[in-house]
Amino acid sequence: MNFNDYPRLSEDAKDLAKDIQDFCEKEVRQQTIEADKKDGDITEIIKKATDMGLNALDVPAEYGGPGLTKYDSVALLEQMAYYDAGFGITVSANGLASGPVVIGGNEEQKKRVYDIILGGGIGGFCLTEREAGCDASAGQATAEKDGDDYIINGTKCFITNGPIASYYVVFAMTDKSKGAGHGYTAFLVEKGTPGLSIGKHEDKMGIRCSQTSEVIFDNVRVPSSAIVGEIGHGFKLAMQTLDMARITCGITAVGICQRAIDEARDYIQQRVQFGAPLSKNETIQFKFADMYMRTQAARQLCLHATELYMDHKPFSAEAAAAKCAAGDAAMYCSTEAVQILGGYGYMRDYPVEKLMRDAKIFQIFEGTNEIQRLVMGRHVVGR
Ligand code: CAA
């Protein structure tokens, strides 16, 4: 990591960045390339990463965490994603999964979730359904009151960490008459709860080292104490969580951008064509200028949204801009890296084709770039 990109990084985070770099060079760089060719299973790597506490960077000091700022954890996530975006997504997914609890949960729930995370756990955020993707309010999952309990039914899909999560936050309709905006409620459900099972495992184009699956709720009985926030406030909690998660999603994409630049730069320094290294070719240098400009812009948008979040200022539009710009930048930089490497770039012998496959999802998940533009458009123009 270039510390100049993160001038406000704490000394603790700088030390941790070096540890992460050492760990990733040894355990992630080559192993994830091999795993990507197979089923993407990096269970052992994730175990070592959680032993280092990399899944718990956002846990506050008063709950036993490292006490880093959001700025620090965002920077460290770029470092992890640089080595493999699927690895970065997996270890950072507690930000998304625990978001509703952090924002709206009570003290007991926060303590429970932070304890799970500090014990090496990773969570799953269960919002999306087959017919409710971009239109998150169209979800059909229900939670019916039965005495003091709730019975949850529904199938959530495309859930990051679905197969490996220790806890889930699931959004289900408690009052259909109010629509999702005011009828959705969030519930905290732990792994092993009867009726909770894992459905289809997705076989993905990219970020193959991140596990994605359906999560099925079949008459899952939970006590009222599992409600996160207030009844009927689930949709807002989901939206507030996604605002936060779009920053981390964006910075993960920035990690791909930086890796694409570095891989392509290393290549042009040794590749000789027309009697000179490609690095001397101005046409090629201009490509790097554009990659650099888009990467820096995306990184700064992520950091701006992060600082607004840390200052408790509104940041929905800024987070949408950050995620959208970063997803587009990752696609641009990885495609240019493949172009610069030419025929070699298209082959699996070099890592840039993987970067291009990994980049695509960042224009799609956690709200497509069309949804991010909708959020920004409403912010600028009004509804
Ligand atoms: N913060 C707080 N409240 C918000 C909010 C925000 N960012 N955005 C909306 N709300 C509130 C509104 O104020 C409104 O409240 P009132 O009714 O009291 O006025 C209510 O929520 C409904 O808002 P909208 O009318 O704007 O809702 P909408 O139906 O038009 O949808 C949307 C808005 C932005 C399109 C939203 O549906 C959206 O973000 N869609 C994308 C969903 C998404 O990102 N899904 C990926 C989830 S990740 C996952 O599940 C799998 C995984 O692991 C990766």
Q: Is the pLDDT of residue 108 over 90?
A: yes
- The candidate with the shortest Cα–Cα distance to 180, out of 244, 233, 227, is 233
pLDDT at 241: 98
For 66-99, the pLDDT digits (tens) are 999 999 999 999 999 999 999 999 999 999 999 9
Distance between CA atoms of residues 340 and 57, nearest Å:
36
Angle between helices 85-92 and 43-51 (to 10 degrees): 50
Q: Is the pLDDT of residue 180 over 80?
A: no
Ligand 1: residues within 6 Å at CB?
Answer: 125, 127-128, 134-137, 158-160, 181, 235-236, 239-240, 242-243, 316, 365-367, 371, 374-375
Q: Is the pLDDT of residue 383 over 90?
A: no
Q: What is the rounded average pLDDT of the residues 140-147?
A: 96
Question: What pairing do the DSSP bridges indicate for beta strands 123-126 and 167-173?
Answer: parallel
pLDDT at 351: 96
Which pTM was predicted? 0.97
Q: What is the rounded average pLDDT of the residues 349-361?
A: 97
* Catalytic residue list contains 366: yes
Token code pair at residue 232? 């009927």
| Domain extent listing, the chain | 3-118, 123-232, 236-381
For 41-50, the pLDDT digits (tens) are 999 999 999 9
pLDDT at 246: 98
Q: What is the rounded average pLDDT of the residues 48-59?
A: 97
Instruction: Count CB atoms within 10 A of the CB of residue 37.
Output: 11
Most informative mutation of 91, 135, 239 for ligand 1 (most atoms within 8 A of CB):
239
Distance 45 CA to ligand 1 centre (A): 34
pLDDT at 336: 98
pLDDT at 151: 98
The CATH class given to the 236-381 domain equals: mainly alpha
pLDDT at 137: 84
* Mean per-residue pLDDT of the chain: 96
pLDDT at 181: 82
pLDDT at 227: 98
Q: Which CATH architecture has domain 3-118?
A: Orthogonal Bundle (1.10)
pLDDT at 48: 98
Is residue 61 within 8 A of residue 301, CB to CB? The reply is: no
What amino acid occupies position 204?
Answer: K
pLDDT at 254: 98
Q: What is the rounded average pLDDT of the residues 148-170?
A: 98
Give the model's confidence band at 136: pLDDT under 50 very low, under 70 low, under 90 confident, else very high.
confident
Ligand 1 atom nearest 161 alpha carbon:
53
Share of the chain above pLDDT 70, in %: 100
Which residues touch 301 (CB under 8 Å, ≥6 apart)? 250, 318, 321, 322, 325, 326
Q: Which residue's alpha carbon is nearest to atom 4 within ligand 1? A: 236
pLDDT at 103: 97
Q: What is the 3-state secondary structure (H, E, C) of the chain?
A: CCHHHCCCCCHHHHHHHHHHHHHHHHHCHHHHHHHHHCCCCCHHHHHHHHHCCHHHCCCCHHHCCCCCCHHHHHHHHHHHHHHCHHHHHHHHCHHHHCHHHHHHCCHHHHHHHHHHHHCCCCEEEECCECCECCCHHHCCCEEEEECCEEEEEEEEEEEECHHHCCEEEEEEECCHHHHHHHHEEEEEEECCCCCEEEEEECCCCCCCCCCEEEEEEEEEEEEHHHEECCCCCHHHHHHHHHHHHHHHHHHHHHHHHHHHHHHHHHHHHHCEECCEEHHHCHHHHHHHHHHHHHHHHHHHHHHHHHHHHHCCCCCHHHHHHHHHHHHHHHHHHHHHHHHHHCHHHHCCCCCHHHHHHHHHHHHCCCCCHHHHHHHHHHHHHCC
Distance 347 CA to ligand 1 centre (A): 40
Share of the chain above pLDDT 90, in %: 93
What is the dihedral angle through the alpha carbons of 193, 159, 59, 222, rounded to the nearest 10 degrees?
Answer: -20
Q: What is the rounded average pLDDT of the residues 351-371?
A: 97
Distance between CA atoms of residues 54 and 72, nearest Å:
12
Q: Quick one: 146 exposed, middle or buried, by C-beta within 10 A (0-12, 13-18, 19+)?
A: exposed
Q: Is the pLDDT of residue 369 over 80?
A: yes
Q: Which CATH architecture has domain 123-232?
A: Beta Barrel (2.40)
Most informative mutation of 236, 363, 364, 373 for ligand 1 (most atoms within 8 A of CB):
236
Q: Which residue's alpha carbon is nearest to atom 19 within ligand 1? A: 181
Distance 8 CA to ligand 1 centre (A): 31
Q: Is the pLDDT of residue 138 over 90?
A: no
For 163-172, the pLDDT digits (tens) are 999 999 999 9
Q: Is the pLDDT of residue 102 over 90?
A: yes
